[in-house]
């Protein structure tokens, strides 16, 4: 068992997976939150109802969300080449990961903000708050748990995406599992890569649970 394991290759692949997951999650969090807030704020009966902006954001979100990730990577090849300069390696996976996961997270944010949105808006407006204050001082603080849960689910999905990206040249644990585990039939490499990915996912879940426990007021 584990006779084919190359420690150095595994450490490198592990680092690459962590890098891709962490950096893209960070960007997805920022872009997704902004897009989610836009969807929420311009939605029906919201603070800044705007059919045109809502429809445009909504359609883009839906289209991007429905493209299978593998195809999205391929579609984005020219774009990736333009901004990263290459289509190989961990860095090259970032545009596809970010563009693929942002719409998903944005919908989760929209959902969680809408949960108590109507009455929170009413409360803010009744006390003379501006739209900006309603979002920053009322809606976001009150929806923090949902926002964290959302990014947790998204981050776990992104870890999964990295291995798809890895299989077509982005590096990381997925690449290792594909290259050695699949094409050379080294099952122990596949198993170790899987265990490490499970480890990453459990770690993300653990951090999320700790954070939520800390801010939940019951």
Here's the x/- map for another protein, 188-217, by CB under 8 A: it reads as ---------------------------x-x
Closest CA to 28 of 61, 52, 50: 61
Contacting residue, 123, 149, 153, 212, with another protein by CB under 8 A? 123
Sites for another protein among residues 138-177 (CB under 8 A): 138, 141-142, 144
Cα Rg for the chain, rounded, in angstroms? Answer: 20
Among 49, 62, 86, 130, binds another protein (CB under 8 A): 130
Contact indicator for 55, 124 with CB cutoff of 8 Å: no
To the nearest whole angstrom, how small is the minimum distance from the Cβ of residue 25 to another protein? 24
Asked if 190 contacts 177 with a C-beta cutoff of 8 angstroms, the reply is yes
Q: Which is nearer to another protein, 86 or 136 (CB)?
A: 136
Among 49, 62, 125, 185, binds another protein (CB under 8 A): 125
Please identify, using beta-carbon distances, which residue of 131 and 194 lies nearer to another protein.
Answer: 131
Total chain residues near another protein (CB under 8 A):
20
Distance CA 140, CA 134 (A): 9
Cβ(19)–Cβ(26) under 8 Å? Answer: no
Q: Smallest gap, in angstroms, from Cβ of residue 142 to another protein?
A: 5
Secondary structure in 3-state letters for 61-101: HHHHHHCCHHHHHHHCHHHHHHHHCCCCCHHHHHHHHHHHH
Site of interaction with another protein (CB under 8 A): 119-120, 122-130, 133, 137-138, 141-142, 144, 215, 217-218
């Amino acid at each position: 068992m584990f006779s084919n394991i190359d420690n150095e290759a595994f450490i490198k692949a592990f680092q690459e997976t962590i890098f891709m997951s962490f950096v893209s999650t960070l960007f997805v969090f920022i872009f997704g939150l902004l897009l989610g807030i836009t969807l929420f704020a311009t939605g029906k009966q919201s603070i800044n109802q705007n059919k045109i902006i809502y429809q445009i954001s909504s359609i883009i979100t839906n289209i991007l969300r429905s493209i299978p990730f593998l195809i999205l990577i391929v579609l984005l090849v020219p774009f990736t080449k333009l901004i990263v300069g290459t289509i190989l390696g961990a860095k090259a996976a970032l545009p596809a990961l970010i563009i693929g996961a942002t719409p998903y997270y944005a919908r989760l944010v929209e959902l969680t903000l809408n949960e108590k949105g109507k009455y929170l808006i009413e409360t803010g407006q009744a006390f003379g708050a501006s739209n900006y204050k309603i979002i920053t001082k009322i809606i976001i603080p009150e929806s923090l748990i949902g926002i964290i849960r959302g990014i947790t689910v998204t981050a776990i999905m992104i870890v999964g995406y990295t291995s798809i990206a890895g299989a077509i040249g982005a590096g990381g644990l997925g690449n290792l599992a594909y290259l050695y585990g699949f094409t050379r039939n080294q099952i122990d490499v596949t198993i170790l890569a899987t265990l490490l990915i499970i480890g990453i996912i459990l770690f993300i879940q653990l951090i999320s649970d700790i954070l939520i426990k800390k801010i939940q007021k019951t």
